[in-house]
Amino acid sequence: MDGYNAYDGIDGDEAGPKVTIREMDRTTIKFNLTNTSLAFANSIRRVMLAEVPTIAIDLVEIESNTSVLADEFLAHRLGLIPLSTKGIEDMVDPRECDCDPICDRCTVVLRLSVVNRSSDQHVKVFARDLFVESVGGANYNRANGVHGTSSEDMPPLGTPILMDRDKQGPLICQLRRGQELKVKCLAKRGIAKEHAKWAPTAAIGFEYDPWNKLRHTTLWYETDPKAEWPEPEKNGQWEEPPTGDERFNYEAEPETFYIDLEGTGVMPPDQIMHSGIQVLQNKLASIIRDLDSDNQGQTNGYDGGFSPPMNGGQSAYGGNTAYGAGTAYGQDPGYQTPGFGGAGATSVYGSATPYGRQPYP
Amino acid sequence: MSNDAEMTDAQGGAEANGAEEFVHEKQRLKILPGSSDTAASFAFEKEDHTLGNALRYIIMKNPDVEFCGYSIPHPSEAVMNVRIQTWDGVSVWDVLRKALDDLCDLCDVVEEKFTKARDEFNAEHPDRMKKKGMTKNKLATTRTIQQHRRYHEQGELAHMKFWKLI
The percentage of residues in chain B with a pLDDT greater than 70, rounded to a whole number, is 61
Q: Which of A233, A270, A231 is nearest to A23 (CA)?
A: A270
pLDDT digits (tens, 9 = 90+) for A224-253: 998 999 989 888 889 988 888 889 999 999
pLDDT at A51: 96
Average pLDDT, rounded, for chain A: 80
Is residue B135 assigned to a domain? yes
Whether residue B161 and residue A243 make contact (CB cut-off 8 A), yes or no, is: yes
What's the gap in Å between the CA of A144 and the closest CA on chain B? 14
pLDDT at A193: 95
* CA–CA gap between residue A277 and residue A259 (Å, rounded): 15
Whether residue A284 and residue B106 make contact (CB cut-off 8 A), yes or no, is: no
* CA–CA gap between residue B34 and residue A357 (Å, rounded): 10
Residue in B closest to A310 by C-alpha: B33
* Mean local confidence (pLDDT), A180-194: 96
Q: Is the pTM of this model over 0.90?
A: no
What residue spans of chain B are helical by DSSP H? 2-16, 20-24, 49-60, 92-124, 136-139, 143-165
C-alpha gyration radius of chain B: 25
Q: Which CA distances in Å does A81 have to A103, A162, A175, A185, A195?
A: 21, 10, 19, 11, 13
Number of H helices, E strands in chain A: 4, 10
What's the gap in Å between the CA of A98 and the closest CA on chain B? 9
Is residue B118 assigned to a domain? yes
User: Which pLDDT band, with edges at 50, 70 and 90, does B56 fall under?
Assistant: very high
Evaluate if residue B82 carries a pLDDT over 70. Answer: yes
Q: In this predicted model, which residue has the larger pLDDT, B62 or A140?
A: B62
Residue in B closest to A269 by C-alpha: B118
* Mean local confidence (pLDDT), A97-105: 88
Is residue B103 assigned to a domain? yes
Interface with A, mutate which of B26, B35, B142 (most A CBs under 10 A): B35
Evaluate if residue B85 carries a pLDDT over 80. Answer: yes
Is residue B59 assigned to a domain? yes
User: Which pLDDT band, with edges at 50, 70 and 90, does A345 fall under?
Assistant: very low
pLDDT digits (tens, 9 = 90+) for A22-59: 999 989 999 999 999 999 999 999 999 999 999 999 99
Interface with A, mutate which of B46, B86, B121 (most A CBs under 10 A): B121
The percentage of residues in chain A with a pLDDT greater than 90, rounded to a whole number, is 61
Prior bond to A210 cis, omega within 30?
A: no
* Residues A22/B32, Cβ–Cβ less than 8 Å: no
pLDDT at A150: 58
* CA–CA gap between residue A67 and residue A78 (Å, rounded): 14
Whether residue A19 and residue B152 make contact (CB cut-off 8 A), yes or no, is: no
Residues of chain A found within 8 Å of residue B156, distances taken between Cβ atoms: 237
Q: In this predicted model, which residue has the larger pLDDT, A12 or B160?
A: A12
Whether residue A32 and residue B148 make contact (CB cut-off 8 A), yes or no, is: yes
Label residues A190-223 b or e (16+ Cβ within 10 Å = b).
Answer: bbbbeeebbbbbeebebbbbbeebeeeeeeeeee
Nearest to A287 among B28, B98, B113 (CB): B28
Judged by average pLDDT, the poorest of A140-154, A160-174, B81-95, B102-116 is A140-154
pLDDT digits (tens, 9 = 90+) for A265-293: 999 999 999 999 999 999 999 999 998 88
Residues of chain B found within 8 Å of residue A19, distances taken between Cβ atoms: 110, 113-114, 116-117
* Mean local confidence (pLDDT), A11-26: 81
Whether residue B159 and residue A241 make contact (CB cut-off 8 A), yes or no, is: yes
Whether residue A291 and residue B121 make contact (CB cut-off 8 A), yes or no, is: no
DSSP string covering A297-359:
T-GGGGS--SSSPPSTT--TTSSSSSSSTT-TTTT-TT---GGGTS-TTS-TTSTT-SS-SS-
Is residue B111 assigned to a domain? yes
pLDDT at A135: 52
* Mean local confidence (pLDDT), A303-330: 40
Is residue B6 assigned to a domain? no
User: Which pLDDT band, with edges at 50, 70 and 90, does A316 fall under?
Assistant: very low
Evaluate if residue A1 carries a pLDDT over 80. Answer: no
| CB neighbour list of residue A183: distance below 8 Å, 6 or more residues apart | A60, A61, A62, A63, A65, A74, A78, A111, A112, A113
Specify which residues B45 forms β-bridges with: B79
What's the gap in Å between the CA of A300 and the closest CA on chain B? 8
Evaluate if residue A159 carries a pLDDT over 50. Answer: yes
* Residues B56/B69, Cβ–Cβ less than 8 Å: yes
Evaluate if residue A88 carries a pLDDT over 80. Answer: yes
Is residue B14 assigned to a domain? no
CB pairs under 8 A between A and B: 227
Instruction: Kindly report the length of chain A.
Output: 361
Range of the domain at B58: 25-165
Give how many domains chain B has, as a whole number.
1
Q: What is the CATH number of the domain that holds B85?
A: 3.30.1360.10
Whether residue B103 and residue A96 make contact (CB cut-off 8 A), yes or no, is: no
* CA–CA gap between residue A68 and residue A326 (Å, rounded): 72
DSSP character at residue A88: G
Residue in A closest to B95 by C-alpha: A1
Judged by average pLDDT, the poorest of A29-33, A182-186, A328-332, B39-43 is A328-332
pLDDT at B128: 62
Residues of chain B found within 8 Å of residue A337, distances taken between Cβ atoms: 83
Using DSSP's 3-state secondary structure scheme, residue A112 falls into strand
